[in-house]
Structure formats: structure tokens, C-alpha cells
Structure 1
Amino acid sequence: MASPFRRPLAAGFALALGASIALAGCSRGSDAANNTASAAATTASGCADVVATSKAAVDKATATDATWDGPTTGPKAAAGKTIVYVAQSMQNPGVAGVATGLEEAAKTIGWTLKTIDGQGTPAGIQNAFNQALTLKPDGIIIGGFDPATTADQVKQANAGKIPLVGWQALATPGPSSDGKLFSNVTTKVEDVAKISADYIIAKSNGTAGVVIFTDSSIPFAEGKSQMIQKQLQTCSSVNVLKYSNIPLADVASRMPTETNALLSSLGDKWTYSVAINDVYFENATAAFRQAGKTAATAPVNVGAGDGDAAALTRIRTGDFQAATVPSPLRSEGWQIVDELNRAFAGEKASGYVPQIHVSTKDNATADNFWDPAGYQDAFKAIWGK
């Protein structure tokens, strides 16, 4: 993360659904013969009900007309506030995307926003948080890192009655007593994991041979990939071929070699991949090309977060990624500002959990962001702006 499974600065990551596909069989074609064969295999396996349920979920998640389903009421804008965004790393596209939303929202509500870059290291993040506290702001945003890594700074903010709002700071959305966050803005990891697996089940008609890429050193990431595996296994004819543990810090160096090894050992059995973060596929594309693969013959790659611009570009251009589950980064920035405004007014957090979406070549847009329509107007109306 910026949260643990986002791209770390030290690895130099560039921190997702790309080739246009209508996969119906266990191979990567879209011809009628494959479709018929897959449907037969699915029926024989007793997975038809799972496939049907997965297809319905994917149809809903890929809809292009998703509108704002978040708060429409709340306190009017507090005047003259200063807030600080402590960013895990502004080289992390997810963190930077939220910063864009924060900047837009702060300007709209009439507040001063200061961003301090933690530069992707524990020491840098702690230093950035210390700087934030020195500024004595009205509110602080924990941008993509576990507040437990800055426990002393969190305690100081709590003691100073400075409201804290996280972005993907914890696995669970909403208020937190452990670390004392007024709210944590994030999608539900279980929803992201489920729809990622559902996409594979639906598009393969329940006949996929899957490799899962994860970072088992990070409990949050490991939990996410375990959820994905569990959902895949609800379809008995889906075969998890390999559970590949590659730490995020090593993705750039290890993913090309791992991709080559898997192509060699698994061959055509490997038809789908799912990773806890899109960055795994960023570092696999060269290996696919060197192996002579194309979008039609390579495994179909699915990112279980977080839909950064690089991933969405790969999806739009068919560059060895077919889908991702993007975070609505800009609208999450606006939600963070709204949550702080509720804290300043002495009200409860909104309780809103951002909706789940799946980006594919069919619905990805040229601006390489996804956000539900109407969120800006909704917040402006709440704030009286």
C-alpha cells in the first residue's frame, strides 16, 4: 500500500483489468468452441451456480454508470482550518492520487492543506509526522501507512485533540479505537478480494488455472490473498496452480524471473493471475514479451488493487493486464476532508465505505482514474459551497 501492499519507494515501483477479453474457456480465446467446452466443463464440475453468481457480481461492478452513493447530509464547512497530509510516499501513485482529491476538496471548502512526504521509509514517515505535529494543525491525515508505525506521534495527536483520519491506514473502514482514528477511509478488503476472484471465475466459466501473487510478510496482504484463494476455491473446477510469495520490495527484481519460471513449469495450464497489487504485472510485462506472448496468449492478469494510472493504462492498451479493482482515489480525498469537517463539528464519522468497481478495457477512461459520478456536487451541497 501506501498501505502495506502498495508500492514502496525503495523498490522504485511505478504503484488494475488490460487486454480486451471475453474469455469463455480455460484457454484465452473467445471463440465459440472454447465457450461451449468451458460451459460443459463448468456444468460437469457442479460450479454452474458459482459461475452465475460471479457473473452477476462482475456485471454490477463493471457498470459504467456508477453514481455517488455516499453521504448527502452533514455539517456545513468549518472556516479557516489547516490540515496536513502525511503521505507514505508521493512516488506512490495511490498516495498521490488521494493528494489530488485532497487538494481539490481543500480548495473548495476553503482550508489550507499542507502535504509532507514520508518518502516511503519508516524513518521518513515518522519524521513527516513529527513535522506535521510541529505545525499544530487542526487535523492530520495518515496517508497509506499503518498508524502503529508512528504510535508515539499518534498518541501526541490524540493528546492534543487533533483529529486523525486515515486513508488505507487500516484494513477496516470507519472509526478506530486502536490508534484512535476518527475514521479510516478505504474499501473493504474482503470485497476487493471477492470481486477479484469472481472476475476470474466468471470470465473463465469456472475453468481457470490461477497463479496468486502475494507478499506473505505483510499480514494485511497475506490476508487479502488468502481471501482471494478461498473465493476461487468455491468453484471446484478452478485450479490454483501456484501461491507465489514475492515481497513487494523485491517485485522489480524477482517478478521477471518468476514469470519466466512459471511459463516454463506451468505452460498452458496457467491461464489467469491475480495479485494483491497491480505492480506485480508492471514488472511481468517484459518477461511475457520476451517469451513471445501476446495479450491473447499470455495469462489474463487481474489486480486486486489499486487501480493506479499505470495499471489503467495497461488495461486500456491491452498491455498484459485485463482488470483491476481501483480505489476511487480522488473521491476518497474529498471524503477525508468531509470526515475531518464532521470531526471539527463534533459529529460522528459518516460511516461511508467506498463502493467496489472493476476497471476493464471496456470501461476504463483516458484520464486513468475511476470515481463515482456526482461526488463533488454532493460534498459541495453538504458544505454549503
Structure 2
Amino acid sequence: MTVRLTLAVTALAVLSACGDGAGGASTDIDQESVAAAAQRVASARDALPADLPDAPIKAPTGSFVAVVACNAAQPGCADPARGAVEALEAAGLRAKLIDGQGTSDKQNAAIRQALALRPDGIITSAIDPETVQQALGEARRQGVAVVSLAALGESELVDANVGPTVADYTATGTLLADLAITELKGAVKALVLHDEGFAVLEPRYRGFVEGLDACSSCEVLEEQTFTSADLAVGVPRLVQQLVQRHPDVNTFYVDYDDAVPPLLQGLRSVGRDDVLVLGSNGTVDATQCIASDCGQAATTAFSLDGIGWAAADSMLRVLAGIPASDAVYGLGVKLIDAEVARAVVDSSENGMWDGDADYRAAYLALWGAA
């Protein structure tokens, strides 16, 4: 199903809701929620301004920074790490990407591998510092600077946390709820898949569920949890079971885009191509899928590379001896439906949304590397 969102269509949907609601009567549809959701959806598709640092910093050229990704096989984890490497090298530093391979044991080992290279700093990407306490403790004892990228919560094990705020992550979920409410005219019947393995996903998941809860004519039929280890086999099987239990489902939410292909596999195995499928992160594969009507209806996106550039900026400041406060990702949350996805694919170099402002030029100017 292709999602096409315009205020005109939404207004028509509200007026015609009397025959389409979950109960068949206009009084059953929460028309106020539909109208409010439509307004938020329209705003989320507008061009987003950038809110970047304004204090210049001289990049300490010649320094070496290792960047440890939680799992190089998952774009939502690896793309910010690659963005950090790109930014560090653009600033005149040496950088190396190391794969954390998806588990805390291997991520601890990856950080130790980085330490063996005698770096000046380490950036971890989407790794909860508390799950790699031992390795980060070693970094602390060796005097190696550590910046945590895209991991919520404060930790004494790192010099700075960099990335979207809790409010940003919550918005990636609430906007998907808004889209479902708008597209389905306030008659959402949703199934929800939540990965409990990443703390940053909790506010996104809560944002979606609570966004639907605010719509009195919408319903979450069932919620289930999974982990990234379940993607190949467990998720398709779980999707089959959920749809068989809830044949009236019209919406499927999952925390991140990397889980959408196995979700679609499960839907196709039971002959369901009529479900609104929603993910988040705005990966290349997801954006191209949405643009080509392959089954995913929409995603919400951060600039994944932009998160990496924000982490690089924070690392430069730490290495320069400037007390580091937690840096805030400043490029906003983009709602990407088919229309936006096609525009992104046609206009971007790498096929994914990368912010609506030229943050690279802005950072390079701050670093004296433009």
C-alpha cells in the first residue's frame, strides 16, 4: 500500500469517516485525533532547519580515532559510525571502523581491539556503555577519550553522549502513529513488534503505542518482543502467527527498518499485502523500498551520517581539551512516505535522507577544515 498524504485528502477522509470506522458510525471515529494527526504529518514533511554548534574548534589533525559500530551488518547502527569516520577524516584525523558484531561480548572485544591500536579516542555507535563496562573501564585507565554515539543515558565511562534526544526518538514513533491515524481515517488496528535489546528504541516504541492510545477509535491488537538475532527466522514466523490471530489487522509497526524485510516476508507467506507497514531509521534500503512501493509504507528518519558528524565534532572538542557537554543531534526527524522517498532517491547521492541543510559544510567551517 502506498501512503499519499495531503491535507486535502485528509480533510475528505475526516468528512467521509462515517462509513469507514471501526464500528461503522461517525461517532465511532475520533475525528479530532484524525485532524490533529494530519496537521502534525504535514509539518513533519516540511523542510527541517538545522540546529548545529556555533563555537569553532581547531581540529587536532594527526590524531587517531577508532569507531566501533554495534553491528556493521545493520545500517541503522553502521551508517552513523561510517558518518563519524567520514567526518574525522574530513577534519584531518585518521579513523578506523571496527565491527562490534551485535553482542556485548563481541563489542567488548571490539573495543579492546581498538585499544590495541593505541588510539587517541574511541567512538562507540549505538552501544549502551553499561553493556561494555569492562572495555570502557580499560579505555578510562589508559586515558583514551570515549564518545558514545546514539546511546541514551548518562555514563561516567564516556566523555560525552552524542545523538538524538529522548524527545527526538519519541517523535520517530509518534509520527508513525500520526501517519497511521491519518491514512486509515482513525480506524487503526495495529500489531507491534519491539526489540528490547536497544535502550534507544524504548521511547520510539512508547511514542507509537501512546500515540495510538490517544486516538479513541484506534487499537493496538497485540504487542510482541524480538531481538536482532530473530530477524532471519523468528520474525517471519512471529508475523505469521500474529496475523493468523488477528486477521483484522491493518497496520504493522516495527522499531527499525532493518526488521521490515523479514516482516514483509511473513506477511507475504500468509497472503497479506494490504497492511500498512511502518519502520524507522530511514535507511537506504527502506527509502528505496518505500519509493518503489515494495511493501513498506513509511519510515521516520534521522540523518544517520549527521549523527556521526555530531559525534566527530564532540570528539574533536574532547581531544582539544575542551570540557565536553553532551552534543545534541540537530537535524530533526523526517517523515518519509512514498512521495518524499521518491524525491530523496532522485536527488541524493546515496539514496537516503541526509538532512535538509548542508551540515557538512557547517561543521567543516567550524573546524577550520572547509
TM-score range, shorter chain: 0.7 to 0.9
| Residue 170 of structure 2: aligned partner | 190
| Residue 234 of structure 2: aligned partner | 254
**Correspondence 1:370 to 2:343:** no
Q: 1:337 aligns with which of 285, 301, 312?
A: 312
Describe the shift of the 1:208–1:374 C-alpha distance in structure 2 as closer, same or farther (beyond 3 A): same
Tell me the distance in 1 between the aligned counterparts of 2:198 and 2:170.
16
Matches within 5 A, 1:37-52: 37=17, 41=21, 44-45=27-28, 47-52=30-35
| Residue 11 of structure 1: aligned partner | none
Give the residue type in structure 1 aligned to 2:121. G
User: Residue deviations 1:239-298, cap 9 Å, x none?
Assistant: 11111233332232133233333333322x21111111223321122343344444xxx1
Describe the shift of the 1:118–1:227 C-alpha distance in structure 2 as closer, same or farther (beyond 3 A): same
Tell me the distance in 1 between the aligned counterparts of 2:326 and 2:224.
38
User: Residue deviations 1:41-100, cap 9 Å, x none?
Assistant: 59624733333332222222222x334322233312222211110122211212331233
Give the residue type in structure 2 aligned to 1:198. D
**Partner SS state of residue 213, structure 1:** strand
Give the residue type in structure 2 aligned to 1:179. L
Matches within 5 A, 1:185-334: 185-188=163-166, 189-216=169-196, 221=201, 224-267=204-247, 269-294=248-273, 298-303=274-279, 305-334=280-309
| Residue 85 of structure 2: aligned partner | 103
Matches within 5 A, 1:3-14: none
TM-score between both structures, scaled by the size of structure 2? 0.85
- Work out which structure has the larger RCO, using CA pairs closer than 8 Å and 6 or more positions apart in sequence: 1
Deviation at 1:39, TM superposition (A): 8.7
Deviation at 1:120, TM superposition (A): 2.4
Give the residue type in structure 2 aligned to 1:283. P
Describe the shift of the 1:243–1:347 C-alpha distance in structure 2 as closer, same or farther (beyond 3 A): same
User: Residue deviations 1:155-212, cap 9 Å, x none?
Assistant: 22223332211122x224xxx3443341232353222222222222232232111111
Describe the shift of the 1:37–1:23 C-alpha distance in structure 2 as closer, same or farther (beyond 3 A): farther
Could you tell me whether the CA contact under 8 Å between 2:124 and 2:149 is conserved in 1? yes
| Residue 353 of structure 1: aligned partner | 329
User: Residue deviations 1:315-367, cap 9 Å, x none?
Assistant: 11111111111231111111111111121231433632341111111112223
Deviation at 1:232, TM superposition (A): 1.0
**Partner SS state of residue 242, structure 1:** strand
Describe the shift of the 1:284–1:143 C-alpha distance in structure 2 as closer, same or farther (beyond 3 A): same
**Partner SS state of residue 201, structure 1:** helix
**Partner SS state of residue 284, structure 1:** helix
Matches within 5 A, 1:39-78: 41=21, 44-45=27-28, 47-63=30-46, 65-78=47-60
Describe the shift of the 1:128–1:256 C-alpha distance in structure 2 as closer, same or farther (beyond 3 A): closer
Percent identical residues = 25
TM-score between both structures, scaled by the size of structure 1? 0.82
CA RMSD across the alignment: 2.8
| Residue 171 of structure 1: aligned partner | 152
Describe the shift of the 1:162–1:249 C-alpha distance in structure 2 as closer, same or farther (beyond 3 A): same
Report the more deviating stretch, 219-228 or 183-192.
219-228
Give the residue type in structure 2 aligned to 1:61. A
5+ long unaligned stretches in structure 1: 1-18
Tell me the distance in 1 between the aligned counterparts of 2:184 and 2:252.
12
Give the residue type in structure 2 aligned to 1:358. L
Describe the shift of the 1:204–1:350 C-alpha distance in structure 2 as closer, same or farther (beyond 3 A): same
| Residue 71 of structure 2: aligned partner | 89
Aligned positions, number:
353
Describe the shift of the 1:43–1:81 C-alpha distance in structure 2 as closer, same or farther (beyond 3 A): farther
**Partner SS state of residue 170, structure 2:** helix
